[in-house]
A = this chain, B = another copy of it.
Amino acid sequence: MHKSQPGPVDNRQSKQSTLFTLPLTAVHLTQGFWANAQQTNRTISLGHGYNMLEQSGNFANLRLAAGLAKGAYTGYLFADSDVYKWLEAVGWELGRADDAQLQAMAAEAITLVERAQQPDGYLNSYYQFVLPEKRWTDLDHGHELYCAGHLIQAAVAFQRAVNNGRLLAVALRFVDHLYDLFGPGQREATCGHPEIETALVELYRLTQDPRHLELAQLFIDRRGQNKMRGHAGYGAIYQQDHLPVRQAQEVVGHAVRQLYLTTGVTDLYMESGETALLQAMQTLWDDMTRRKLYVTGGVGARFDGEAFGGPYELPSDTGYLETCAAIASLMWNWRLLLITGGSKYADLFEHTLYNSVLSSPGLEGTSYLYVNPLQVRNGRYVRALVDTGVDEARRRPAWHKCACCPPNVMRLFASLGHYLATANEAGIQIHQFAAASLDLTVNGRSTQLAIATNYPWMGHIEVTVNTTPTEPWTLSLRQPGWCHHAQLTLNGTAIPAEVGENGYLNLTRRWQPGDVLQLELTMDPTFLAPHPRIDALRSCVALQRGPLIYCFESHDQPAGVDLDDVQVRTDEPVAVTAVPLLGGIEAITVPGRMAQLGGAEPLYRRLDEAMEVDWQPVTLTAVPYFVWGNRGMHSMRVWLPQAKLPA
């Protein structure tokens, strides 16, 4: 394959970077958790995606645009983007290993895309087939540039991963067309759904064509004129057009739009080095993480507008927490990590991946959650679950009417290794923990590492140095924010584990082939308490072990236990048990108590008239949040009230 080719982000030439991404094939996920997720994605989900794109009419739409078929357009006007995201996923997969079936499916889709493109470079099956006279008339809601962005990303993937330039040729023709229309001195417009910005910066990294960066900058600089129409009553704030990006103080509006935009702006900073951009991004990151982030890493408190709520507005039941918004957060955090080298971004990447992205795909790989709420009350559907297709059997749907999330998960999983490690002049940084082999070049010399771990179930990580330069270099291992005690052992001898300013355990030495570094992260279950301003979570606790947030599903509780009526005792020990359930997870049992309520009690009573509650002790079982709903969706809660026991 193309060993030296990069993955989704190639910042080797970027002006502003502390860490640098590795070639696509430098990290090979060997076994265990990440490898399994990737394997399911490759062998099951991608074929499922192909079938769904066929069934849902996405391919058919392109055939219509190409004049290859007759019929009616199907689905939303941004349906092409699902094809591009799926293609991007297939591209990264083919880059890691060939597969005749995936090759054939991709070739067919790429041919369709090629044929659908207009002679002038324009490409959008909806506008071409349904409203040919209306091209570029509705930048606010037309999604034409959004789709172009996903086309570019798929093109970059195929070029880098398998040296296949067919999609890139399509993309470049389209971008030339865009530059003519929207370039310097041309139409002062930008897209209602950010996405093209990050895509154009990445295209620039591939082509080094300054027009590509210039166009990204124009699309970013034009935002904030308070002219976009918004949606669901939100106005321009819905599309982050209320303020120029450099002046933004808060993450607001449609969550995916907001975080695709911040990703693009961060990309632009990496290339341009304009400090105001990075400052704005850090302000927004602080706002998101201090005021608008769910404990699972998900974002988007509001069903209406799929939007960020106000500060501390973080309801468990009605929260939206779209899978795509979580993925967008990964993209943004990855770039901030590359720029700063700060572990807090890798921490949030990890946390969001395990708890807000992994919860989307069903364990079998052929179903997806669009939204990821933290509570389903007593067997009732959450509004957003219903609206995004959870079926009568209360299962994840196989696909969605608006199917942005499934292929987004696919392209992430297909490129998962990209996010595990980076390198720079000092050495190698391990950001995420998964069983993997690393084969890369540090300062021009070959380095090979093997990582063994049963993470996230166990906190033991073993790095074996197989090949190393003779000069000293630094191996940096992230000490996760969730971990309060880490122990390093080098070749069987305990060594001091000091966390550097960057949040990493940095070990600089002359490494020898055969060196074994062991990292032991203490992984005790921990109760979490919410900020007192979060009204929706007052007096509740959540349960975390390692990077995993846990939840309580009705399936696992003793008969007769209603999750609406239980409280958790935090004064007694909890127990971790490996259970065969759902492919071998670590469950946690906690002591609790349950109120015997009939449901006919008054909703409100005088405080001085205590409600007579008969409490029964119960043992409650928690499972990782990401596996919820794999056995049907009944009751589920991440947060449970903490029992206030008599002193």
**Contact (Cβ within 8 A) A383 B304:** yes
| 9-residue interface stretch from A132-140, A277-285, A306-314, A578-586 | A306-314
| Known A312-B564, A377-B313, A606-B526: A597·B289 in contact at CB below 8 Å | no
**Contact (Cβ within 8 A) A531 B602:** yes
Q: Does chain B have a CB within 8 A of A276?
A: no
| 9-residue interface stretch from A195-203, A335-343, A361-369, A539-547 | A539-547
Q: Does chain B have a CB within 8 A of A107?
A: no
| Known A383-B233, A383-B302, A386-B233: A290·B535 in contact at CB below 8 Å | no
| Residue total for A at the interface (Cβ-Cβ under 8 A) | 65
Partner among B317, B526, B641 whose Cβ is within 8 Å of the Cβ of A607: B526
**Contact (Cβ within 8 A) A604 B290:** no
Contacts of A601 in B (CB 8 A): 290, 531
Q: Is chain A's binding surface mostly helix, strand, loop or mixed?
A: loop
Q: Does chain B have a CB within 8 A of A120?
A: no
**Contact (Cβ within 8 A) B599 A290:** yes
**Contact (Cβ within 8 A) B533 A536:** no
**Contact (Cβ within 8 A) A606 B528:** yes
Contacts of A313 in B (CB 8 A): 317-318, 377
Partner among B316, B387, B605, B647 whose Cβ is within 8 Å of the Cβ of A529: B605
Can you tell how many copies of this chain the complex includes? 2
Q: A507-537 toward B: CB 8 Å interface, digit per residue (1/0)?
A: 0000000000000000000111111111110
Q: A378 to B309, alpha carbons, bound, how many Å? A: 13
**Contact (Cβ within 8 A) A535 B311:** no
Q: Does chain B have a CB within 8 A of A595?
A: yes
**Contact (Cβ within 8 A) A535 B536:** yes
Min CB distance A547 to B, Å, is 13
**Contact (Cβ within 8 A) B316 A318:** no
- 122-175 of chain A: CB within 8 A of chain B: none
Identify the closest chain B residue to A533 (Cβ).
Answer: B564
Q: Does chain B have a CB within 8 A of A572?
A: no
Q: A513 to B395, alpha carbons, bound, how many Å? A: 72
Q: Does chain B have a CB within 8 A of A608?
A: yes
Q: Does chain B have a CB within 8 A of A3?
A: no
30 contacts between A and B (CB under 8 A): A232-B387, A290-B603, A293-B603, A295-B604, A302-B383, A310-B377, A310-B380, A311-B377, A312-B377, A315-B315, A315-B536, A317-B535, A375-B535, A526-B606, A526-B607, A527-B607, A528-B604, A528-B605, A528-B607, A529-B611, A530-B604, A531-B601, A531-B604, A532-B611, A533-B564, A533-B565, A534-B603, A535-B536, A535-B540, A541-B607
Residues of A near any B CB (own CB < 8 A): 232-233, 286, 289-291, 293, 295, 302-304, 309-313, 315-318, 375, 377-378, 380, 383, 386-387, 484, 526-536, 538-542, 564-565, 570, 595, 597, 599-608, 611, 613, 641-642, 644, 647
